[in-house]
Structure 1
Amino acid sequence: MSLKIETYSNAKGGNSFFKALGHPLTVARAADLYARLRKAGKVAIYDPLGMAEGLQEFYPMDALDITAVYVQRVEDMGKTVLGHDVQAVTGLPQSGAGIVLVTAFDAGRLMDHIRHLVPAGVELLSLDELRLPVSMLTNPNRYLDPLNFATNFGFLRDGNGQHTRIVSCDYWSGLGAKTVPEVWYCLFDQSGKVLAQWQEAIPAAGASLIIDSREIRQRFNLGDFTASLFIHILGVARHDIVKYALDVYGDDDTVLSCTHDANAWPSDLFAGLPAPHDDETVVMWIQNSHPVPIPAHAVGINLMGSDDIRTIPTEIAPFACYALNVADLFPEVRWPQQLEVQAGRYFVRPRYEVHVKNGRSRIAHVNVERNDLVVDPNIPNLTQHLGKSYILPAPIMPVAQWQSVMQPNPMSTAQTDLPIAAIFYDATGVEVARHKFGRLQRSDSVAVDMNAMLAAQNAMLPSGSGHVELVYDFSDGGGGDGWLHGLFRYTQRSSGHIAETSFGGHIFNTVLTYKNEPQSYAAAPPGLSTRLFLRLGDAPLDTFCHLIYAASTPWHVQSDTSLVLFNRMGEQIAQTKISIPCSGSLHWRYSEVFDAATRQRAGDGGYIIIRDLTCRLFGYHGTVNGDTAFCMDHMFGF
């Protein structure tokens, strides 16, 4: 059963209430508040905004002697809250309680409204007792302002020859932050125990934000650890989402991998978890994102399209990390089968690791599976205005060095079938082949070797690389909901090292809009410009980027793209221009675009902003260690 608290909705966005309750610093404040409530004896609850049930999920009130629950809205009469039939707040004088708890933040006005109903000697409290210090609030006048809770979880591990690094930059200064933001961190070990808490300023506007497990280990005198890192950015502007890249690197070249941020909102469902090959072990890391345990059997996995849900028999402590070996629940599954995660809103988007018997490993993430979508009857008719409409673009890496594989992933409960096709483009923007998947059923798990498929059609990529676009194809019937997803797996031919990434489709580069597409980070749709973050690997690693200029309808013939290089302190070092044909792509390396002297001036810890005011590009990034290893994932923008 899912937690009965809203974490995110596509209509309203992220829910700050659950973040306020789940903040690590709130835990001790809640314990103090509940101690006062227990000491007072009988407690009356006034729930004018409907927050009591959410509070109960994180901080159960079972040990309190609750006499009654009162509400303000007449239309709420007849409801049951906390096991009590609610009463009109005008009945508060007859409660017999020694203390009244108003289950709301910023409750001064709400408390003033009922002071005349509170008998003399009865204490009146609210959730404002749980507030973070004013110094941690971007907007102290509105506690549940999303900007007060720009938070996320990171996965941090150090030991056994493996290290991790979280990399982002201060993008809030460029969005109007009044001062350079600071960051508050809380590091929980695998059991949920606090290893360290600290706060530090980002050193300059636009500077890199880097948390390296080796440095943290040394700073706090830690041994080997596997940990969940809570990140809270203080003093943000416009954007309350904390985005980053997570790198895994090792003491030898068998360990090199990267993945995306955790996505800050726990979900009911995730999907796109791959089954292992015979020589692989797949481990999904569950990071309990709340101050309450995940009950035994509350979380599980199932084969996509199957009702056979197998659950984790172990309770997972608050803020703890749990390593779920897929084979413990499904020993019989094998790639290309894929699994669905029954998450119950207990944790943020989980990462999974694939360990190969040859000693190599890789990390990637599953994606949020939507349960609020229905089949949209308008999508098959969008072609007359929006051409290909929804597109999921992914690289075909340089064929001489890499093998490329794709797998469609059902990513919403509405997707009982997937009527899709794949269009293959050379880097020059010329279509070279098509592949019809037909009307895939939800339980189908199909992986296509893109290089082999092109060879079977006698199709060539004259440029040596290109990209594929997954699109809807309703020629065999079926329906769509606009939430196309796929997993893309790449193998370095020289080493056998593998990386994989997954993402979803959007409408690209058309002035016409449909619902919230083409999506925009900064304003209402259409989003017709690009601002992507490219973190740079430190020597001896080189950095590569695969930019794709997908277009639902014909757009500008060429992109007008700038690559702006910054050093670790956010100072611009250099800028250069590139051009990508419409429906084309460009695979490039840092070492090829910026000369050695410029790279030396940028130094370690620098980054590139990919900017284009003429079109929306989609990008994938990674680092490469010669012919021995590489990593890869999709990029993020802001």
Structure 2
Amino acid sequence: MLGIRTFDPRSGGNTAYKALTHPLAAQKLAGLAHQLASVGPVALYDPHGMADTLLALLPCPLTVAGIYTHDTLRVGHDCAGHVLQPVADLDQSTVRAVWALDFSQIAMGSRLSTLLPRTATLYTLEPVRLPAHMLSVGHAYLDRLNFATNLAFFRESADFSTRLVTANYWARYGAQAVRLWLRLFDANGQVLHTWEQDMPGEGQAIIIDSAEIRQCFDLPHFTGQLFIHAQGVAGHDVVKYALETRGKGDNTSLSVTHDANAWPANRYANLPAPAGGEDVVLWVQNSHALPIPAGSMHLNRMGHDTLVPIERDLAPYQTLAVHVRDMLPGLTWPEQIEFRAGGHVVRPRYEVTRSGRTRIAHLNVQRADLRPDPHIEKLDPRFFGRGYLLPFPVPDPARYRTLLLPSPMAEGLSTLPVRVDSFDTEGRGTGSHFVGCLARDHATVMDVGELAGQGGHAELLYDFRDGGSADGWLHALIRYEDRKSGHVAETSFGSHIFNTVMTYRGEPQSYAGSPPGLSTRLFLTAACTEPYSFCTLIYPVSNRWHRVSDTSLHLHGANGEVIAREKIAIPMSGSRLIQPERIFGQAALQRAGVGGYVIIRDTTCRLFGYHGRHDEGEGRFSLDHMFGF
């Protein structure tokens, strides 16, 4: 396991991790590490608590004579296998080099001027800094806005194209001159091209098309990853996007998934075992400038500890297609697989091929910090009603099968006590079914369309009638099968408490600000050509809230201009199918142009949406949960 600290839901992201792993910084860090390794034993001064992460990211071994801190409460604690010492004793060391883990040589020189051993030279992380013009907040290097970065699975082959779509949402927080720094890696981890794009307009659409990139820069076909660094940003340090994958020519494949989540994790879940006639490929993409030794990552059946290693070395930034059936030949759908990634990769994609069509979906982070919470079973129904809900669409059962597979999403979770409640589009209940108190290794899949009997939506929630425990991180994989064309799409997400004024452990969540999160701002692409965009917009309510929503749909042109506005009202516990071409008309969509999009806004309640594409002519569609900013 790579000993790095990335993201903790309680304290947020570790900006130092991003500062050290940015591709430009990683190149400089490697040179500095080799220089220090040649000096001999080094004393580390760790003012920001990054020593363990930094040492794990070095490309060569470094002999550390001691690690020092100025925090008296940390003295004596373990750090990267060393007992932390008081920096006041640094002058007693006999090392020839002191490495202060801070990005300012002047600040560290001043602070340590009377503490350096007479024989030692002071080194810092200043040589690793990004150029000043790449920073959003120049006076504070480790400000989170300086490292608004992410990675994307990116492919342009004979059979597939990909397209990344988002908008300049930073401008609404005051950003004046947003630009993107982009670096494309091929399957072997080699740099294919590095370039920048300016995004000066407020709300301007951002489109990065693999076919256009290949043509513009005269590149070969590629299957790799795209590193994205948004600069000049404000208000939001997360790079959010929708990623479209389309088949070329006679290939009718289509998928749309959302952003990759920029923080590597130790484990991921909800990787499905292949059904009959399917090939499931896990796309493993090294997120770092370090090689991954063979046997460092594993797959196992969920709930079982027999680990099957990935016996391949991966070069820095390399992409590897792992065929699940080759590694776990005895598993079949609906059994689930756990990916023990060891902190080497950000949330990966998987690709399922059946009958010549493919679909792409993403794994989810399996949390190590969560433990069962006995208070969830005892939440006061006056305040929280049905509690945590995972809402998802149920399209017309006559046309589509809606298959629900609950997924454990925390390392310590052993049971899933769950039921499903279904609703029609007007919010009337159409059925309820207790799925059971499922074991961690369960393989129970439910056809929710049979329960609902009609189109609308359903909600997965906790039900403790047969015991079990809960952690508030309830997840499921939802698979949609078109009975007519055979096309399949799938998505996965977790539960929240929706639309209550009382709060519990940060719920209801909000995209901006502190809970309760009683507002909505969602992004939907508004394609004016086939395949068309759509959204299933759900108004989930844990207890009771407004009788109907007060929802506005704003059609934006590719330049960010608002082209049209429409209002809709969704009944409590109801849903609506949002099709931009029907709501705004083809003329308005043509004015919006390629890259036009819809912002779904509601200041009275939090809605939950799933976005997709549909092409009735070829029977292909996609579906994944939406993102907001």
TM-score (norm 1): 0.94
Q: What is the distance in 2 between the residues matched to 1:35 and 1:478?
A: 52
- What is the aligned partner in structure 2 of residue 243 from structure 1? 240
Residues 340-370 of structure 1 deviation map (CA, whole Å, 9 limit, x = unaligned): 11111111111100011x1000000111111
Q: What is the distance in 2 between the residues matched to 1:12 and 1:82?
A: 20
Which is worse superposed, 601-610 or 624-633?
624-633
Contact 1:271 1:339 in 2 (8 A): yes
Q: CA deviation at 1:413?
A: 2.1
- What is the aligned partner in structure 1 of residue 8 from structure 2? 9
- What is the aligned partner in structure 2 of residue 457 from structure 1? none
Contact 1:419 1:472 in 2 (8 A): yes
Change (3 A) 1:578 1:389: same
For the pair 1:551 / 2:548, whether they are aligned, the reply is: no
Contact 2:286 2:318 in 1 (8 A): yes
Give the alignment partner of residue 203 of structure 2, picking from 203, 206, 209: 206
Change (3 A) 1:81 1:368: closer
Q: CA deviation at 1:437?
A: 0.7
For the pair 1:44 / 2:34, whether they are aligned, the reply is: no
Q: CA deviation at 1:268?
A: 1.4
Contact 1:423 1:468 in 2 (8 A): yes
Q: CA deviation at 1:41?
A: 5.2
Tell me, which stretches of 5 or more residues in structure 2 are unaligned? none
Alignment-mate amino acid for residue 7 of structure 2: Y
For the pair 1:174 / 2:172, whether they are aligned, the reply is: yes
Q: What is the distance in 1 between the residues matched to 2:482 and 2:179?
A: 39
Q: CA deviation at 1:536?
A: 2.5
Secondary structure of residue in 2 paired with 1:267: coil
Change (3 A) 1:330 1:466: same
Change (3 A) 1:391 1:110: same
Q: What is the distance in 2 between the residues matched to 1:351 and 1:637?
A: 21
Superposition map of 1:299-378 within 5 A: 299-356=297-354, 358-378=355-375
Superposition map of 1:489-500 within 5 A: 489-500=479-490
Change (3 A) 1:28 1:631: same
Contact 2:33 2:59 in 1 (8 A): no
Contact 2:94 2:119 in 1 (8 A): no
Which is worse superposed, 142-151 or 72-81?
72-81
- What is the aligned partner in structure 2 of residue 133 from structure 1? 131
- What is the aligned partner in structure 1 of residue 435 from structure 2? 437
Contact 2:431 2:451 in 1 (8 A): no
Give the alignment partner of residue 635 of structure 1, picking from 619, 626, 629: 626
- What is the aligned partner in structure 2 of residue 262 from structure 1? 260
- What is the aligned partner in structure 1 of residue 387 from structure 2? 389
Contact 1:580 1:586 in 2 (8 A): yes
Q: CA deviation at 1:159?
A: 0.8
For the pair 1:226 / 2:223, whether they are aligned, the reply is: yes
Secondary structure of residue in 2 paired with 1:132: coil
Superposition map of 1:514-533 within 5 A: 514-533=504-523
- What is the aligned partner in structure 1 of residue 447 from structure 2? 449
Residues 529-571 of structure 1 deviation map (CA, whole Å, 9 limit, x = unaligned): 1100001335122111100000011111111111100111111
Secondary structure of residue in 1 paired with 2:169: coil
Q: CA deviation at 1:301?
A: 1.2
- What is the aligned partner in structure 2 of residue 503 from structure 1? 493
Q: What is the distance in 1 between the residues matched to 2:433 and 2:517?
A: 29
Q: CA deviation at 1:52?
A: 2.4
- What is the aligned partner in structure 1 of residue 53 from structure 2? 54
Change (3 A) 1:255 1:135: same
Contact 2:489 2:622 in 1 (8 A): yes
Give the alignment partner of residue 194 of structure 1, picking from 188, 191, 200: 191
Give the aligned length.
Answer: 626
Secondary structure of residue in 2 paired with 1:172: helix
Residues 207-262 of structure 1 deviation map (CA, whole Å, 9 limit, x = unaligned): 11111100111122111100110000001112111111110012235221111110
Secondary structure of residue in 1 paired with 2:441: coil
Residues 500-531 of structure 1 deviation map (CA, whole Å, 9 limit, x = unaligned): 00100000011111110000111110011110
Q: What is the distance in 2 between the residues matched to 1:620 and 1:395?
A: 8
Q: CA deviation at 1:106?
A: 3.9
Alignment-mate amino acid for residue 29 of structure 1: K
Contact 1:67 1:96 in 2 (8 A): no
Secondary structure of residue in 2 paired with 1:353: strand
Contact 1:393 1:618 in 2 (8 A): yes
Secondary structure of residue in 1 paired with 2:604: coil
Contact 1:180 1:205 in 2 (8 A): no
For the pair 1:625 / 2:625, whether they are aligned, the reply is: no
Change (3 A) 1:315 1:585: same
Secondary structure of residue in 2 paired with 1:636: coil
Residues 398-445 of structure 1 deviation map (CA, whole Å, 9 limit, x = unaligned): 334322111111111232111110001011100011111121111112
Q: What is the distance in 2 between the residues matched to 1:595 and 1:442?
A: 48
Residues 59-115 of structure 1 deviation map (CA, whole Å, 9 limit, x = unaligned): 1552x5655544434555555656666554444445343332112234643431221
Q: CA deviation at 1:117?
A: 2.9
Which is worse superposed, 410-419 or 211-220?
410-419
- What is the aligned partner in structure 1 of residue 562 from structure 2? 572
Secondary structure of residue in 2 paired with 1:148: helix
Q: What is the distance in 2 between the residues matched to 1:85 and 1:527?
A: 43
Secondary structure of residue in 2 paired with 1:443: coil
Q: What is the distance in 1 between the residues matched to 2:108 and 2:161?
A: 50
Tell me, which stretches of 5 or more residues in structure 1 are unaligned? 455-459
Q: What is the distance in 1 between the residues matched to 2:371 and 2:118?
A: 54
Q: Report percent identity of matched pairs.
A: 47
Secondary structure of residue in 1 paired with 2:515: coil
Q: What is the distance in 1 between the residues matched to 2:344 and 2:290?
A: 9
Q: CA deviation at 1:176?
A: 2.1
